[in-house]
Amino acid sequence: MLNTFRKLGLALTCALLIFPLGSAQAEVGVTDDKIVLGTFQDLSGPAAYIGKFVTGIIKVWTHMVNEEMGGIHGRKIEVVIEDNKYDPVLTKTVYNKLVNQDKVFALIATYGSSPLTAIKGELEKDKVPIISTAASTQSMFDPPNRYLFWYTSSAQDEGILATDFIMNTLKPEKLKLGILYQDDEWGKDGRKGIELAAKKYNLKPVYSPFKRGTKNLSAQVLKLKAKRVTHLYVSSYATTYASFLKEANKIGYNPVIIGGYVTVDPRSFIAGELADGHYHIFNHAVRNEGVPGWKELEKRFTAIGAEALLNSPLLPMLWTPLAHFTQVLQNVGPDLTREKVIDAMEALQDFDTGGTGPIRYGKNMRKGTHYYRIFTADAANKQFTPITDWHEPSLVWGKR
């Protein structure tokens, strides 16, 4: 009898080795009927208006996937949202909660160069995919992190593009180039772009940093005016951009300004007519162009009473990563794993949102956006109008 039990025990052990229990095979955050995702947003810090905006977009996306599409391969989406206050230290805390306590499958729609830089090592160690939106530093994708996919413009690209535009399109008779930038990973990346372009064009730019959260830019304005900067690239939020315009106006300082992508925002018009005629770099179509992508967004957001979100030109920039993540989840199929998501993201080529330049990734390419346009600001109508075609910076990534 004892020998029989031993034989049965051995048979059961072998069976378990060959046919492991379902729970042992299950991917973290994935069940038969659910995919648990996580995100961190600045909901109460210096960029809270963006965090609340992204949170609203995530709700619309979740409704689309769960209610309109019936889920993805039979699974509904659940998103756990944490407030990181745009603080790198707090970001590590909420990341650990999302990954180790909430057991999320992946992170989506995150933004902020400093917060993302703080967890890059953890992502690699934990092998958690993250589909980010706005994190504008070269370090997000260079060198590539297998688990971090990054979609939007890079401040380094923008610094080069701004200088290209000044030198090749504006061609001013008098030129003194400058940059006003937030003194963190984001702003320093913009400075790097200016440095690279300045070397190419044999320029000696003026650098004017400020601390994140600074309200008073009078010292920066005085410095730029004293250095006789005529053309200025601004790497900061729209609210800071508007504050600079008003502060500069107080002392009669009016340089030609090229704003980074987040200045393509109604908050730039807080400065009123002072915002008129300046230039902005952006990697999406805007609503007044009437492109198919915007028409689809209008239909979708209006249908569920979220039309207020349509007022920001940043909407497609924040929606697009969610759209191509949806496509990737569909492409992977029912057998969903983190590693298969990574492979499917790498295979995504020329994804069409109906209003962007080409979006593509690859084995060693984690940056989705490669093409940009220059816009001008129309303060009277509070809108932005493209004045160039899609193009890359003259110093392209990989050849700088």
Whether residue 226 is contained in a domain is answered as: yes
User: Residue 114: helix, strand or coil by DSSP?
Assistant: helix
What's the confidence (pLDDT) of residue 143? 84
Percent of the chain topping pLDDT 90: 70
pLDDT at 161 over 70: yes
What's the confidence (pLDDT) of residue 139? 77
Both 68 and 135 in a single domain? Answer: yes
What's the confidence (pLDDT) of residue 142? 80
What's the confidence (pLDDT) of residue 357? 62
Whether residue 8 is contained in a domain is answered as: no
Both 160 and 276 in a single domain? Answer: yes
Both 215 and 138 in a single domain? Answer: no
Q: Find the mean pLDDT for residues 131-158.
A: 83
Both 142 and 169 in a single domain? Answer: no
pLDDT at 155 over 50: yes
Q: Which residue has the higher pLDDT, 78 or 348?
A: 78
Whether residue 233 is contained in a domain is answered as: yes
Indicate the pLDDT class of residue 314, thresholds 50, 70 and 90: confident
Both 235 and 278 in a single domain? Answer: yes
pLDDT at 225 over 90: yes
Q: Find the mean pLDDT for residues 71-99.
A: 97
Indicate the pLDDT class of residue 358, thresholds 50, 70 and 90: low
Q: Which residue has the higher pLDDT, 310 or 367?
A: 310
Q: Which residue has the higher pLDDT, 139 or 87?
A: 87
Report the alpha-carbon distance of residue 20 to residue 11 in Å, rounded: 13
Whether residue 96 is contained in a domain is answered as: yes
Kind and range of the H or E element at 258? Answer: strand 256-259
The shares of helix, strand and coil residues in the chain, as percent rounded to the nearest 5, are 45, 20, 35
Both 259 and 342 in a single domain? Answer: no
pLDDT at 1 over 60: no
What's the confidence (pLDDT) of residue 370? 81
CATH number of the domain at 359, please.
3.40.50.2300
Both 50 and 144 in a single domain? Answer: yes
- Nearest CA to 253 among 212, 221, 284? 221
Domain ranges, residue 146: 34-153+310-369
Q: Please give the single-letter amino acid code of residue 257.
A: I
Q: Phi, psi at residue 361, to the nearest 5°?
A: -125, -170
Whether residue 352 is contained in a domain is answered as: yes
Both 249 and 379 in a single domain? Answer: yes
The number of folded domains in the chain is: 2
Mean pLDDT score across all residues of the chain = 89
246 to 103, 130, 208, 384: CA distances (angstroms): 46, 38, 17, 19
Whether residue 394 is contained in a domain is answered as: no
Contact 154, 285 (CB under 8 A): no
Paired strand residues for 385:
376
Indicate the pLDDT class of residue 229, thresholds 50, 70 and 90: very high
pLDDT of 173-199, one tens digit each?
Answer: 999 999 999 998 889 999 999 999 999
pLDDT of 116-132, one tens digit each?
Answer: 889 989 999 999 999 98
Both 350 and 236 in a single domain? Answer: no
Whether residue 327 is contained in a domain is answered as: yes
153 to 1, 190, 341: CA distances (angstroms): 72, 11, 23
Both 140 and 166 in a single domain? Answer: no
Report the alpha-carbon distance of residue 157 to residue 151 in Å, rounded: 13
Both 190 and 338 in a single domain? Answer: no
Q: Find the mean pLDDT for residues 336-344.
A: 97
pLDDT at 2 over 50: no
Both 161 and 139 in a single domain? Answer: no
pLDDT at 14 over 70: no
Percent of the chain topping pLDDT 70: 92
Q: Find the mean pLDDT for residues 345-372.
A: 81
Whether residue 342 is contained in a domain is answered as: yes
Token pair, residue 153, equals 């413009």
397: how many CB neighbours lie within 10 A of its CB? 17
